[in-house]
Structure 1
Amino acid sequence: MNDYNLPPTEPPAQGWPQGAPPQAPAQSWPQGVPPQAPAQGWPQGVPPQAPAQGWPQGVPPQAPAQGCPQGVPPQTPAQGWPQGVPPQAPAQGWPQGAPPQAPVQVCPQGVPPQAPVQGWPQGAPPQAPAQGWSQGVPPQAPAQGFPAPWQSAPSYAPPFSLQQEDPRRREASHTLNHMCLLSLAQTGLSFVWQIPLMLLLSVLGVDILTNAMGYQWLSAVLVPLATALPFAAYLLFRKEDPAHYLKFERVGFTGGLLCVLAGLAISLLGNYPALFVQEFFGLFGYSSSGGYTAQGEAWPSILLEIAVVAVLVPFMEEFAFRGVILSSLRRYGLGFSIVASALVFGMAHLDFSTVVFATISGLALGFLYARTNNLWLVVLIHGLNNLIAVLGSHADFLFGDMSILISNLIVFVPILLGLLSLLLLLIFKRGMFISAGSPRYDGPAYPLKAGESASAIVRAPAFWVAAGLMALYTLSLFFVA
């Protein structure tokens, strides 16, 4: 008997594994598998007498490869198959000896349903669990025809759930709301203080409707108590350094003069839209309160009016609207602070025709203060504008027969000089203005854009309260005889 324990009458077929019977070649090997190169690692001495029916020829059923399903060649086990699949009940419908690379399309991705790995979805390899699948998905009823979990599209939160409100816009709206409340406090205090002061004047026998001096003295007292007091209390209560709000940086005589003339021209030009509104509303019975002046013409009353309207009022209003309001808002952007402070300044005048003029003037004054950090410039512009208004209201008394000519000259000459000054500023003095790239820039690194600024303004509740109060006051002027 030879060493291979084979029948001596017939030599073994060359190229076949030692001990395999040559009479009955395997009828279930996959097409195209060359018999000349058997897979290395097959055990020696496979009994040829009783091959396992349905199994590839030469595979001993007594010692199946541990950890591999029945019928899978141990040479190239399918990576990712769960360990410990029971060999007794192979999945029916699988072709005999079919390699795991071509699973039958019954179960997802070739995973046998008999013993899935507990806690994992059917067909998911344990090495790379599908992201987003929770542990413990029941494997008994996998969705037939669906791709494996690791091939499913990842889920994301809806876009609206990821959007958060911009904190800059929220803070800007919050600060503007405070500034509008201070402006409303101005209006409230002006009415509150009038009651005791008018009672005091009546006790003294002064009628403000006929006594020009009495009216001007009442205005002189009301301006600091109503216009400046709320903002002074705001800075005091918050323990703020006034130097952060009231800035007086040097700009040079030439540059400062050009700024004053240009700003004055824009302010004076704002009278024309206001006059248009006044004339249009006048068709429906509107009577503006902006042109009211005290009865009587005398030098003492005119001088007192100049002192109050052209000196005291500009100081108090610029301290409040440019000094405190604009400076409080500039940390959200220079553009936002200029527009928002101008709107608040305009609505504080209540009468709509005056609101139009004050808003235009506020834009010019706010721009110059934000771009120069010099409050004196805007105080001077404001004072000159009010002085021209006072002189024009008393033109007949002051200028006599030449009142019309002089009234036109004191308006048109500053406008022409201002437009020329504006042109010179744009050509020769643009560098004096503060911009984002300037070393004097004290604004934010990321200012609010136009849309964000508008959203911050309309979200301030007190802004709408001020607008409603202005509308009610303007409406009342339609019924004043």
Structure 2
Amino acid sequence: MEETNFTPQPPLSPQPGEPSGAPDAAEHPSPAPAFDRPDGAADFTPPPAAGGETPPVPPVAPPLSPVKQAKKALRRCSNRNSLLLLLLVVGTNLVALGVLMAMKLLGVRMSTTAFDTVANLISYGSLYLVMAPLLLIGNAGQPHKVRTYFTKPKASGKEIAKWTLIGVGLTYGISYVFNFLFTIIQLLFGVELAAPSLVTDTGFANALISFFFMALAAPLMEELIFRGTLLCHTLPFGSWFAIVVVGVSFGLTHMNYQQLFYAIMMGIAAGFVVVKAQSIWPALGIHLSINLIGATQSILAGHIDLSVLTGGGSSRYVMTYLLSKLPYLLPILLLSLLCLAAAVSGFVLFVIEAVNHKDTFRLENPCTVLTPAQKAATYLSAPGTILTLAVMLGMTVCNALGVL
């Protein structure tokens, strides 16, 4: 029914000597207009049914308050984000396991070196075989697509370079701090945590696979998933909230204690520059820089037998061995010094920025009806998020204890 712009007028009083022509209003009050009633219901009586009975009017549910509406939308966003991550974690392992089982059933035989190479390829390949369709699923029905991420940054080259250095530096700084803390914990409690091997097996094929997937494919695909899809889903609930939530999720998906905290720091830094520059390119710069250094060190370390250093051999033998490995040791040492310099300079730049340019860290918050505590509680209480966190945290603990 078309609405009319109508304002009811009070009944006119009859003029002296003129009959009213209407019953007394006090005895027969007229129905109140719909917008004067508490429930806003229209003055409508349903027609009698065929049997002469008046059908009951279905109750009208009161509209949700803005707070409840925001919580409902945030919980839906949380479920969507978390289930995408669960598909990523579970799907990757299922694909890798399925390929290895198929090889075994087919009776594929190969040397140990060849098997290690194939297993390395399957491990990396399964990750991106799962990620590609996840991008399509994650962007379904959303205004943002993959092509929308690669826009020209709304920041100068100088600003992007500065924040890239800050992001890389803070990531390495957090890595040093937590590596030290975990070392202290192991010494104090007499436990030995199982760290993942970040050393690439020798061989050109292994080096090529590791370099391509670790240094190039991983930054691209992971940024599209995390700073692209997941961050865009969560930004309507506050920029800082989205940056932190997606950054923590990024760290947890690594599922090992050694990479957990510096991956969280990198995820937060990458999310911040994406929001500031409104482009995924600066985040790719941070991610590529860190992974490129890590992949290079991993490949070079594969040529060094660390057991020689801890095997109790004579100092002369150890020195001779180290001298023979100088072509690999020197680049590792130089890259380590570069990382340390980046950590120091990035931290200094961050402090200068925080002191002199506080407005830089003020980001948009479209969802002001919820406090940060309410947002966190709502996001973490979503069923899909509870399940995903249980799986990722459980895997992290099991990997640290060497159970898996």
After TM superposition, the score normalised by the length of structure 2 is 0.67
| Alignment gaps of 5+ in structure 2 | 1-63, 304-325
User: Offset of 1:446 from its aligned partner?
Assistant: 2.9
- 1:378 to 2:378 alignment: no
The count of residues paired between Structure 1 and Structure 2 equals: 311
Task: Select which of 259, 265, 268 maps to 2:169.
Answer: 265
% same residue: 18
Task: Select which of 75, 85, 91 maps to 1:189.
Answer: 91
CA distance in 1 between counterparts of 2:146 and 2:134 reads 18
- 1:293 to 2:199 alignment: yes
Cα deviation 1:260-311 (Å, max 9, x = unaligned) = 111111111221244246433583242122x34343x234432331111011
CA distance in 2 between counterparts of 1:347 and 1:269 reads 19
Assess if the C-alpha contact under 8 Å between 2:251 and 2:260 holds in 1. yes
User: Offset of 1:381 from its aligned partner?
Assistant: 0.8
Cα deviation 1:126-149 (Å, max 9, x = unaligned) = xxxxxxxxxxxxxxxxxxxxxxxx
Cα distance change of structure 1 residues 249 and 407 upon mapping to structure 2, 3 Å threshold: closer
CA distance in 1 between counterparts of 2:112 and 2:173 reads 32
User: Offset of 1:467 from its aligned partner?
Assistant: 2.2
- 1:256 to 2:184 alignment: no
User: Offset of 1:224 from its aligned partner?
Assistant: 1.8
Assess if the C-alpha contact under 8 Å between 2:236 and 2:367 holds in 1. no
Residue number in structure 2 paired with 1:59: none
Residue number in structure 1 paired with 2:306: none
- 1:338 to 2:243 alignment: yes
Assess if the C-alpha contact under 8 Å between 1:341 and 1:362 holds in 2. yes
Task: Select which of 406, 410, 414 maps to 2:342.
Answer: 414
Task: Select which of 258, 266, 269 maps to 1:364.
Answer: 269
- 1:306 to 2:211 alignment: yes
CA distance in 2 between counterparts of 1:471 and 1:239 reads 29
Residue number in structure 2 paired with 1:172: 74
Cα distance change of structure 1 residues 208 and 329 upon mapping to structure 2, 3 Å threshold: farther
User: Offset of 1:323 from its aligned partner?
Assistant: 0.3
Letter in 2 for 1:416: V
Residue number in structure 2 paired with 1:142: none
- 1:466 to 2:370 alignment: no
Task: Select which of 304, 324, 328 maps to 1:400.
Answer: 328
User: Offset of 1:352 from its aligned partner?
Assistant: 3.2
Letter in 2 for 1:173: R
User: Offset of 1:187 from its aligned partner?
Assistant: 0.8
Stretch of structure 1 that moved more, 417-426 or 333-342: 417-426
Assess if the C-alpha contact under 8 Å between 1:175 and 1:328 holds in 2. yes
Cα distance change of structure 1 residues 401 and 324 upon mapping to structure 2, 3 Å threshold: closer
Task: Select which of 130, 136, 152 maps to 1:232.
Answer: 136
User: Offset of 1:407 from its aligned partner?
Assistant: 4.3
Residue number in structure 2 paired with 1:457: 379
Residue number in structure 2 paired with 1:351: 256
SS of alignment partner, residue 410 of structure 1: helix
Higher relative contact order at CA 8 Å, sep ≥6: structure 1 or structure 2? 2
- 1:242 to 2:145 alignment: yes
- 1:316 to 2:316 alignment: no
Letter in 2 for 1:411: C
Stretch of structure 1 that moved more, 209-218 or 356-365: 209-218
User: Offset of 1:333 from its aligned partner?
Assistant: 0.6
Stretch of structure 1 that moved more, 461-470 or 310-319: 461-470
Assess if the C-alpha contact under 8 Å between 1:342 and 1:362 holds in 2. yes
User: Offset of 1:404 from its aligned partner?
Assistant: 5.8
Assess if the C-alpha contact under 8 Å between 2:193 and 2:402 holds in 1. yes
Cα distance change of structure 1 residues 470 and 318 upon mapping to structure 2, 3 Å threshold: same
CA distance in 2 between counterparts of 1:311 and 1:447 reads 41
Cα distance change of structure 1 residues 166 and 216 upon mapping to structure 2, 3 Å threshold: same
Cα deviation 1:202-222 (Å, max 9, x = unaligned) = 555456876553244224422
CA distance in 2 between counterparts of 1:415 and 1:256 reads 17
CA distance in 1 between counterparts of 2:362 and 2:278 reads 8
CA distance in 1 between counterparts of 2:115 and 2:165 reads 35
Q: Which has the higher helix share?
A: 2
CA distance in 2 between counterparts of 1:208 and 1:274 reads 35
CA distance in 1 between counterparts of 2:370 and 2:327 reads 50
CA distance in 2 between counterparts of 1:192 and 1:301 reads 22
CA distance in 1 between counterparts of 2:141 and 2:230 reads 14
What aligned pairs does 1:59-98 form with structure 2 within 5 A after superposition? none
Cα distance change of structure 1 residues 233 and 470 upon mapping to structure 2, 3 Å threshold: closer
What aligned pairs does 1:100-139 form with structure 2 within 5 A after superposition? none
Assess if the C-alpha contact under 8 Å between 1:287 and 1:480 holds in 2. no
Letter in 2 for 1:246: Y
Letter in 2 for 1:412: L
After TM superposition, the score normalised by the length of structure 1 is 0.57
Assess if the C-alpha contact under 8 Å between 1:350 and 1:469 holds in 2. no
Residue number in structure 1 paired with 2:41: none
CA distance in 1 between counterparts of 2:285 and 2:237 reads 27
RMSD: 3.2
- 1:218 to 2:93 alignment: no
CA distance in 2 between counterparts of 1:434 and 1:206 reads 57
Assess if the C-alpha contact under 8 Å between 2:200 and 2:206 holds in 1. no
CA distance in 1 between counterparts of 2:147 and 2:74 reads 18
Residue number in structure 1 paired with 2:28: none
Assess if the C-alpha contact under 8 Å between 1:228 and 1:320 holds in 2. no
SS of alignment partner, residue 238 of structure 1: coil
User: Offset of 1:194 from its aligned partner?
Assistant: 0.7
User: Offset of 1:230 from its aligned partner?
Assistant: 1.8
Larger Rg: 1
